[in-house]
Amino acid sequence: MKNWLLAARPKTLPAAIVPVWSGCVLAWKLQGSWNPWLAFCTLAAALCIQIATNFFNDAIDARKGADTEKRLGPRRVTACGLIPRRTVLIAATFFLGLAAIFGMILFRKAGWPVIWIGLPSLYFAYGYTGGPLPLAYKGLGELFVVIFFGLVAVGGTVLIQTGEWRNEAMLLGLQIGLLSAVLISINNLRDREEDSGTGKMTLAVRMGERGARVLVWLEVKVAAFAGLLWMKYQLPWLVLATIPLWTLGMYLLFRVFNDPIGHAMNRLLALAGLMLLLFAACFHAAAGIN
């Protein structure tokens, strides 16, 4: 069980939880109600896709030789021989199947938009590191996260709850997508040397160490300043959701620019995950203000 929990990468799961949580809060703010059963199915599908993505990543990176003895992050179960690669791939496929089951429940409520959202999400759980265009190996990881763990996840959640694709959801999705991308960017900064030696051309490899640090700064800053746009939608209290970005986020950026590459980056990943959760909590609290 410990090995399976390690493969599931629980520290990354806030990237699946926060879009659904915040999207349901936004739907409630916009229409005055929300459906807990649909919220549960949406969250379950998102978590299953996230776990499947992590399993595929673990198995495929091991096959491609991307996880080496130079690794500074947590151990990968396939590369370390803790779980056979075939078993990890079967588990990943199982979780994709679970996600599809929950997706069919959502399809009965929201119709074809769930299919247009769900099918690419299911594919890129594998296509993030596998297939003919593995996004993580082409420097497209951050863009993938902003789109699918931000715009699509939040927009889809609000669509399922309200029946509408709302512009407000796109703003929230942009903020959450950027904050989720911080996790990927710090991870890639930490692994830049290893990735460059194994042909994994992440943005950190392409941009260099300095550029990778600046990318994290941009993601946090754009997410923070985007919060001012809530005033455009006559929802000024939602600007308060950016408080963690101006507090914990500033400390995180100080560490990103001053800490050397090493195991300390793992603590920065934990801080980035905490910042994402605090953003969702502040958004929830601010939405309750009339």
pLDDT level of residue 69 (50, 70, 90 thresholds)? low
| Count of CA atoms in the C-beta half-sphere (13 A) of 63 | 14
Protein fold of 2-287: Farnesyl Diphosphate Synthase (1.10.600)
- Distance CA(187)–CA(180), nearest Å, equals 11
CA dihedral 106, 19, 48, 266 (to 10 degrees): 180
Q: Tell me what pLDDT residue 73 has.
A: 56
Q: Whats the size of the chain, residue-wise?
A: 290
The set of residues, in sequence order, having a beta carbon less than 8 Å from that of 116 and lying 6+ positions away, is none
Please, is 71 exposed, middle or buried when counting C-beta atoms within 10 Å of its C-beta (0-12, 13-18, 19+)?
Answer: middle
Report the b/e string of 52-67 with b at 16+ CB within 10 A. bbbbbbbbbbbeeebb
pLDDT of 157 > 70? The answer is yes
Please, is 95 exposed, middle or buried when counting C-beta atoms within 10 Å of its C-beta (0-12, 13-18, 19+)?
Answer: buried
pLDDT of 219 > 80? The answer is yes
pLDDT of 68 > 60? The answer is no
Domain boundaries along the sequence of the chain: 2-287
Q: Tell me what pLDDT residue 235 has.
A: 94
**pTM (predicted TM-score):** 0.91
- Distance CA(227)–CA(240), nearest Å, equals 8
pLDDT of 231 > 70? The answer is yes
Q: Tell me the mean pLDDT in the region 29-57.
A: 93
Identify how many contiguous H helices and E strands the chain contains and give both numbers. 13, 0
The set of residues, in sequence order, having a beta carbon less than 8 Å from that of 222 and lying 6+ positions away, is 178
pLDDT level of residue 34 (50, 70, 90 thresholds)? very high
User: Which regions of the chain does DSSP assign to beta strands (E)?
Assistant: none
Q: Tell me the mean pLDDT in the region 203-224.
A: 94
- Distance CA(236)–CA(28), nearest Å, equals 16
- Distance CA(137)–CA(261), nearest Å, equals 20
What secondary structure, in 3-state letters, does 237-287 show?
Answer: HHHHHHHHHHCHHHHHHHHHHHCCCCCHHHHHHHHHHHHHHHHHHHHHHHH
- Report whether 92 contacts 56 (CB < 8 A): yes
pLDDT level of residue 263 (50, 70, 90 thresholds)? confident
Tens digit of each residue's pLDDT (9 = 90 or more) over 110-129: 888 888 888 988 888 888 88
Q: Which two tokens stand for residue 269?
A: 């990943």
Q: Map tokens 């715009």 to a residue.
A: 151
Q: Tell me what pLDDT residue 175 has.
A: 97
